[in-house]
Amino acid sequence: MSNLLILPILIFLCMIQVVAISRLPLLHGKADLILLVIIAWGLQEKARNAWILALLCGLLISFVTASPFWSIILPYVTVAWLARHLHSRIWQSPLLAMILITFIGTLFQHFLMILGLIFEDITINFSDIFGSITLPNLILNMILAVLVFVLVKDIAGWVYPVEIHE
Amino acid sequence: MKALPSRSLQIIIGILIVVGIVLLALAGILRPILGFVMDPFVAVQRWLSDQVMTVIDFFTLPRDVSNLLQRNAELENEVSRLQSQVIQLQEQVSEAEVLYSLLDFARARPESQYVAAAVIGRDPSPFLHYIIIDHGSDDGIRHGMPVVTQQGLVGRVDAVTASAARVQLITDPSSVVNIRMQTIKREAQLVGSITGELYLEMIPQDVVVNIGEILLTSGIGGNYPADLLVGQVISTRKKENELFQTALVQPIVDFTTLRAVLVVTSFKIIDIEPLVPRQTP
């Protein structure tokens, strides 16, 4: 039932990403709301379906973007796995884990996207990319990470209500 | 002669006095006297009136304040509603202006057929420059069709679904447009970049490119119609050890504020792939 509840939220998120977030760049960097939601969801205690969420989001975004599908799906699934893994390791500080995985995930995603561009024989100026895309993207993702984590935590509490044992 | 009765005489004298006083008053002669007599009464009446009004206000004002507060809230709501309506109308006017401009462009080129579409999204990847439009194959849009605005060339259709399409902008790093320099009649290639800048490449070293040179599509390659405005040269870079010089180009279309576009549906893409010589091992 919870998976069914997540699906409309996912579609809505993808629409927000394409319609709004993609139109609000910092230099040339764009925040990745989907990546942040996947990480935040993966860090929730009862959200064991994070990788399904990552896969679905990856497929939805792959349908819209011109990037190779693997450069979208792979980072999403990786951060979902990382979030579940780190959640069980440093569960006392999920916010710290959120920021750490956001940092790693953004860099990994950019690495794969650049790899995709290299495969298409596109000339790449790494200093330009780092200065005007990767760094602004990291800043935007880091800023949004805290906000998204709080929101997703609330949603998780709504989807998986706490059981009271008497 | 019979004397008038004293009663009648008194009445007549009284009437005469009254008429006289009225006449004197009308003539303005009695004004100082009237003023002297009336002023204390007026002053007392004014004071009395003020006191009465104060008492009346004391009992009625709280009700009026609540009425006024209610009315004020109603008016504030009305103002808010009208303000949002004004914003909506301004938005519609802005859209209408864009559509009228596109319509003017289409009317100025009746030889081509166009489908107007709204921009409904952008590619989420920061490395690519694509837009999503709200018309697809159901409206006759096909892969490779050129996309323009009233200002000039935007790009070409890259992928199509039944009700939407993805358009590759000319600023995309994998975009290549064959162009012609308007003044010097030389051809070159316009390529996009990851950061959205446009560069003019394949310009022979002996060509003198002027700053401000207008660039038009050449039509070579069959991907775009000829003579569409693309942009203008803002700087050139020439190195002696390179075969070609390059130039930085300012696009004529502002891609950040793109809201509506025209897809040239009548344009037939020429596939020159079979004519390209293949390398044999």
Beta carbons of A64 and B193 less than 8 Å apart: no
Facing A113 at nearest CB: one of B121, B127, B174: B127
Beta carbons of A122 and B128 less than 8 Å apart: no
Report chain A's terminal Cα–Cα distance, integer Å: 25
Note the pLDDT of residue B141. Answer: 92
Facing A18 at nearest CB: one of B128, B132, B195: B132
pLDDT bin (cut points 50, 70, 90) of residue B132 is: very high
Which of B119, B120, B123, B125 to probe the A interface (max A CBs under 10 A)? Answer: B125
Span B64-108, pLDDT tens digits: 677 888 889 999 999 999 999 999 999 888 888 888 888 888 777
Note the pLDDT of residue A1. Answer: 59
B-side interface with A, Cβ within 8 Å? 120-128, 130, 132, 158-159, 166, 168, 172-174, 193-196
DSSP A66: S
Note the pLDDT of residue B75. Answer: 93
- Separation CA A18–CA A27 (nearest Å): 17
A-side interface with B, Cβ within 8 Å? 17-19, 21-23, 25, 28-30, 32, 34, 61, 64-67, 113-114, 117, 120, 122-125, 128-129, 132-133, 137
Closest-CA residue of A relative to B123 is: A65
Counting one residue from chain A and one from chain B, the pairs whose CB atoms sit within 8 A come to 74
Facing B126 at nearest CB: one of A23, A30, A125: A30
- HEC states along chain B? CCCCCHHHHHHHHHHHHHHHHHHHHHHCCCHHHHHHHHHHHHHHHHHHHHHHHHHHHHHHHHHHHHHHHHHHHHHHHHHHHHHHHHHHHHHHHHHHHHHHHHHHHHHHCCCCCEEEEEEEEECCCCCCCEEEECCCHHHCCCCCCEEECCCCEEEEEEEECCCCEEEEECCCCCCEEEEEECCCCCEEEEECCCCCCEEEEEEECCCCCCCCCEEEECCCCCCCCCCCEEEEEEEEECCCCCCEEEEEEEECCCHHHCCEEEEECCCCCCCCHHHCCCCCC
Beta carbons of B128 and A66 less than 8 Å apart: yes
The proportion of chain B whose per-residue pLDDT surpasses 70, expressed as a percent, equals 95
Give me Rg for the CA atoms of chain B: 43
**What residues of chain A lie within 8 A of the CB of B173, using their CB?**
117, 122-123
Which structural domains are found in chain B, ordered by start? 11-108 (no CATH), 113-268 (2.40.10.340)
The mean pLDDT of B238-257, rounded to a whole number, is 89
Task: Say yes or no to pLDDT of A146 above 60.
Answer: yes
Q: How far is A133 from chain B (nearest CA, A)?
A: 7
**What residues of chain B lie within 8 A of the CB of A64, using their CB?**
121, 123-124, 132, 166
Closest-CA residue of B relative to A33 is: B124
Beta carbons of A114 and B120 less than 8 Å apart: no
The mean pLDDT of B101-130, rounded to a whole number, is 86
- B110 versus B165: the higher-pLDDT residue is B165
Span B47-67, pLDDT tens digits: 888 887 887 777 766 666 778
Region of poorest pLDDT, from A73-77, B20-24, B206-210:
B20-24
The pTM of this model reads 0.76
**What residues of chain A lie within 8 A of the CB of B198, using their CB?**
none
- Spatial neighbors of B120 by CB under 8 A, at least 6 apart, are A19, B132, B133, B134, B164
